[in-house]
Amino acid sequence: MVTNPTVERLTALIASVKIPESIQQQLFMELAGSYDKGIISIEQIINQNIIDTNPEVLSFLQRYTFDLVKNMNTDLANKLKTSLQRNLVEGKGYTQIVSEIKDTFKTTMVRARAIARTETTRAYAVGQLEAARISPVKLKKYILSMQDNRISSLCQRLSKKYPKDKAIGIEQMFKDNVTGESWISNPFHVNCRSKVIFTPVINKSI
C-alpha cells in the first residue's frame, strides 16, 4: 500500500470528518418534539388528554437517533475512502482531492437533512398512532397529500386510493398496488410530505 504525507494527511482528514454531535442532539430534540406533537394532534381531535410521554419512548428515540447518525457517519466515511482511493489511482493532486472530499461531505449533509426530515415525520406519525390506539373515541385514518409538481408518483397513488371518504381503520395498512409495499402510517418514502389524518368514526362498522 502506498504511503506518503499526502495520503496520511487525507486519511487523517477523513477520520476527523463526522456529523457534528450538536446535530445529533438537535435531531433527538426534533424527534421527541414531533412524537409529542403527534400525540397532541389526536388529543385535540377527541378533546381529551389521553397519554403522557413514556420515558421508555424517549430512551428509544435517543438510541434511534444515535444509530441514525452512526450510520450516516459510516456511510460518509466509506464514500470518502472510495473517493480517496479513486483519486489517488487517477493521480489527482491534494487540492483536487480535498475539494472532492468537501463536496462529498456537503452531499452527505444534504442527505442527512433529508433523513432527519423523514424521521421527524415518522416520530410524529408514531405519536399519532400510539395515541389513536388508546383513544376512547374510535378513529379512522386517510391520506392527505400536497397536490403539486413535487408530489411523488407513490403519494399520488396512495392519496387517490385513500381519500377522506375512503378512510380505513387505524390498524389497517395503506397498500400500494404498483410496488406491493404497505405502511401503517407515513412517511411513505424519504422526504415524504404526505400526511395521515385521523378522524372520528361515524360508521361503527369501520
- The candidate with the shortest Cα–Cα distance to 183, out of 160, 154, 153, 152, is 154
Residue 2, pLDDT score: 47
Same domain, 124 and 158: no
In the block, cell 433529508 appears at 114
| Measured distance CA(200)–CA(204) in Å, rounded | 10
pLDDT value at 8 more than 70: no
Same domain, 117 and 147: no
Query: Where is the domain boundary, 102, 134, 166?
Result: 134
Determine contact, residues 56/144, Cβ cutoff 8 Å. Answer: no
Which helix (H) or strand (E) element contains residue 197?
A: strand 195-200
Cell numbers representing residue 27 in the block: 435531531
Same domain, 53 and 84: yes
Residue 125 lies in a domain: yes
Same domain, 14 and 103: yes
Residue 205 lies in a domain: no
Backbone φ, ψ for residue 150 (5° rounding) = -100, -5
Full domain range(s) for residue 195: 139-200
| Measured distance CA(105)–CA(111) in Å, rounded | 10
State pLDDT tens for residues 131-172. 999 999 999 999 999 999 999 999 999 999 999 999 999 999
User: How many domains does the chain divide into?
Assistant: 2
Residue type for position 54: N
State pLDDT tens for residues 46-87. 999 887 766 778 788 888 888 888 888 888 778 877 877 787
Q: Edge to edge, what strands does the sheet with 139-144 contain?
A: 168-169, 139-144, 195-200
- CA-angle at 124, arms to 36 and 133, nearest 5°: 80
Top mean-pLDDT range of 38-47, 67-76, 88-97 = 38-47
Cell numbers representing residue 138 in the block: 374510535
